[in-house]
Amino acid sequence: MSSNSKKRPALGKGLSALLESSATDITSRDLSDSSVLGSVAMLPITAIEANPFNPRTHFEQEALEELSASIAQHGIIQPLTVRKLGRNKYQLISGERRFKASQLAGLKEIPAYIRVANDQTMLEMALVENIQREDLNAIEVALSYQRLIQECRLTQDQLAKQISKSRTSITNHLRLLKLPAPIQLAVREKEISMGHARALVAIADEKNQLELFDRIINEKLSVREVEKIIKGKSDTPEKKTKKSTSDAHVTRAQSQFTESLSDRVSAKVQIKKQSTGNGKVIINFNSEVDLNRIIEILNEE
């Protein structure tokens, strides 16, 4: 697409700004009932289809039933947002949870903002809308970030600016997608927190990730406890063995040095080390004469 093409709407300004965009794949002239565009209308629920671009794929049945009961009693407070595909045919842009709950409640019509949008704008609107939801789990947020980066051709820095999030937050979410499927599912089901998942990402081996994941579930470990376990495992047996062998070698070399020097000067020799790593070698003498004797021995070639 050339640089003169129509500019895409900014992602960071929220859904309301996007809805004001003129981006469209069909014009008002193509719609026989275009007068409803941009307004709130009561639409037949059977005329609305789900949004294939919605990053949210999991809906808790109990929560849906609770929302359904509320809608049945009080109605829908916040209208859905749909795009018009043709005569009496619409597709959700946002509000799928309310849409599903309305179906459960047996509603025949639901209020909706009507919008005309092309697929690219549709994807961006759905992703940005969902990213800003508090009830979206960390994996769904990560998938939204991934799709915005891959399908909307954004860098992490560009995405961070567009949605007013830190680059670190985006990176931390994306790293969760590297975890094994059982762990990702546990994040989705809220069996473990994002903090648990982030800690598990630090483990390179998948088998070890799953083993610690099982402990988190079975022992109900806190994030801090998991971090301590991982920190303790960072010194692997191989590293500990090498460290132990190295320490023993240094100790033995120091002992041999003091014994050799003690034998040479016929005096007690000590090595005094400080916690900072520096220190001194001490040669004990009994008198001025004894000191001169030691000096003469050390000066000998």
Active-site residues: which are they? 96
In sequence order, what DSSP letters do the residues of the chain get, joined into one string? --TTSPPPPPSTTHHHHHHT----SS-GGG-TTGGGTTSEEEEEGGGEE--TT-S-----HHHHHHHHHHHHHH--SS-EEEEEEETTEEEEEE-HHHHHHHHHHT-SEEEEEEE---HHHHHHHHHHHHHT-TT--HHHHHHHHHHHHHHTT--HHHHHHHHT--HHHHHHHHHGGGS-HHHHHHHHTTSS-HHHHHHHHT---HHHHHHHHHHHHHHT--HHHHHHHHHHHTS-HHHHHHHHHHHHHHHHHHHHHHHHHHHHHTS-EEEEE-TTS-EEEEE--SSHHHHHHHHHHHH--
Residue written as tokens 């998991």? Answer: 226
The single-letter code of the amino acid at 250 is V
- Do 230 and 208 touch, CB atoms closer than 8 A? no
* CB proximity list for 193: less than 8 A, separation 6 or greater: 187, 223
The single-letter code of the amino acid at 52 is P
